Amino acid sequence: MWVYRKRVQAQRNARTQRELEGNRVSTVAQVLHFAIQSSPDAVAVVDRKRNVVLSNPRAHELGLVHERNLNVEAWRMVERVFADQEPRELNFLPPPRRSNRPVIAVAGQVQLLSLADDRFAVVYATDNSETVRMESARRDFVANVSHELKTPVGAISLLVETLMSVRDDEEAVEYFGSKLIIEVRRMNQMITELISLSKLQGAESLPDLEVLSIDRVIEDAIDRCRLAAEARNIELVKDGRSGAMVKGDKGLLVTSVSNLLTNAINYSPEGSPVSISREVHNDTVIIRVTDRGIGISQDDQKRVFERFFRVDKARSRDTGGTGLGLAIVKHVMANHGGSVSLWSRLGTGSTFTLELPRFQEGKAKELPSGEIPVIPDAQRLDNAGKAYAASKDGTHGTTPLDATAPDTTAPRTTPPHDAQ
């Protein structure tokens, strides 16, 4: 009886071990299977009868495959590939789905799975929505810039013609010359801000960030706006020093705060105060700029951070505003891991709030970590390749990846870096 029980237990242990090994990624076929299934791009293999013989979850998410049927536009391209065996690019619009950020465009490629066996075609596809959105934004940006630059260029051209006609009248020359200088400065400011905005929105990373005193940033911003405030008899009211530190680009942060102050000065009645305050809440540094101006309607509040948007175009023209200041603030905050928000009421005034991560010595900023791939070493890959080749020749079975050499590859962790 004791021998029988021991034999049964041994059989159970062997069965459990086989089940555990069955769940492990051990063969080349399993590696390929999991690589395809976990791919961030859509993969689908289809035969000449439009039967989808292989697909991964991403293919269904992007609408390439639906209920084992290939997308109609994709199938048309597959038929052409079957006809002449030439790879082709694929672009189609996926079916609408409810999502926070829906897929609006899919791009990919269709080719034969193998030139030696033309029974199957493989379709690769990826979400092309962001490229389409960026291209649309670029077209809008170019259209807006062209429109906005026409005004100062037209004014400069007209003023130059007028100066040429009154060159013998010193008073007229001085008058129109001063107007010309204003338009040239406005155009120069717009071009400078456009360059800054394009850098913030583009792929260029921020320069080396430094630890900054938020009090120093505020003082420098106030200094930039002091003359404009005095010209309108506006008092800039500030609170006490906070001693808070942030990590960032000093020039960009000073520009952001001064843009908010300038905006508040331009839209406040003469003689009214504009206040700037700061506070520290947990790991966040908060800066508020408040005016007692005309306020902003609910509809306009949704658009104030758009490029070239102006609440009062006539007032912007008088003050030399370009409509880019708040857009720059928005992107500077985003590039520093912060945010900007607005509270406003018509006839009462507005408060713009900046929030930035607080820098604390010795406390590393934790960034969300993505999945870290585990890469087998060269010996294991070589052994796996030999085993796969042997299995193709029919000499012996497939050798598990981890049965030939110890895994000397430890998962690597990416060191945290500052958000750029």
CA distance 339 to 346: 23
- The verdict on 295 and 339 lying in the same domain is yes
pLDDT tens profile 27-47 = 777 788 888 888 889 999 999
DSSP assignments along 37-89, one per residue = HT-SSEEEEEETTSBEEEE-HHHHHTTSEETTEE-HHHHHHHHHHHHH---EE
The confidence score (pLDDT) of residue 134 equals 72
Fill in the amino acid letter for 322: T
What is the gyration radius of the CA atoms in the chain, in angstroms? 32
Tally of structural domains, the chain: 3
- The verdict on 220 and 311 lying in the same domain is yes
Start-to-end C-alpha separation, the chain:
71
The confidence score (pLDDT) of residue 141 equals 64
Residue 262 predicted with pLDDT over 80:
yes
The domain boundary, picked from 332, 363, 394, lies at 363
Note whether residue 347 is domain-resident.
Answer: yes
- The verdict on 271 and 319 lying in the same domain is yes
Query: What confidence category does residue 388 fall into, taking pLDDT thresholds of 50, 70 and 90?
Result: very low
Average pLDDT rounded to a whole number, residues 394-408: 40
Fill in the amino acid letter for 65: V
> What would the two tokens of residue 50 be?
């439009």
Note whether residue 165 is domain-resident.
Answer: yes
Q: Please name every residue paired with 111 in a beta bridge, in sequence order, or none if there are none.
A: 122
pLDDT tens profile 324-338 = 778 888 888 888 889
Coil, strand or helix at 126: strand
- The verdict on 218 and 295 lying in the same domain is yes
- The verdict on 48 and 74 lying in the same domain is yes
More confident residue, 396 or 171: 171
CATH code, 160: 1.10.287.130
Note whether residue 391 is domain-resident.
Answer: no
Note whether residue 158 is domain-resident.
Answer: yes
> What's the domain range around 7?
2-130
What is the model's pTM? Answer: 0.49
Fill in the amino acid letter for 306: E
More confident residue, 139 or 212: 212
- The verdict on 245 and 338 lying in the same domain is yes
DSSP state, 203?
A: S
Strands 274-281 and 339-345: unpaired
The confidence score (pLDDT) of residue 87 equals 92
Average pLDDT rounded to a whole number, residues 97-101: 57
Average pLDDT, the chain: 76
More confident residue, 7 or 390: 7
Least reliable range by pLDDT among 59-68, 302-311, 317-326: 317-326
Note whether residue 380 is domain-resident.
Answer: no
CATH code, 229: 3.30.565.10
- The verdict on 177 and 291 lying in the same domain is no
Coil, strand or helix at 294: coil
Query: What confidence category does residue 380 fall into, taking pLDDT thresholds of 50, 70 and 90?
Result: very low
Residue 345 predicted with pLDDT over 60:
yes
- The verdict on 17 and 44 lying in the same domain is yes
- The verdict on 96 and 174 lying in the same domain is no
- The verdict on 165 and 226 lying in the same domain is no
- The verdict on 198 and 221 lying in the same domain is no
In this structure, the chain runs to a length of 420
- The verdict on 65 and 135 lying in the same domain is no
The domain boundary, picked from 78, 106, 130, lies at 130
More confident residue, 95 or 217: 217
pLDDT tens profile 112-140 = 988 888 899 999 999 888 788 777 766 76
The domain boundary, picked from 130, 161, 190, lies at 130
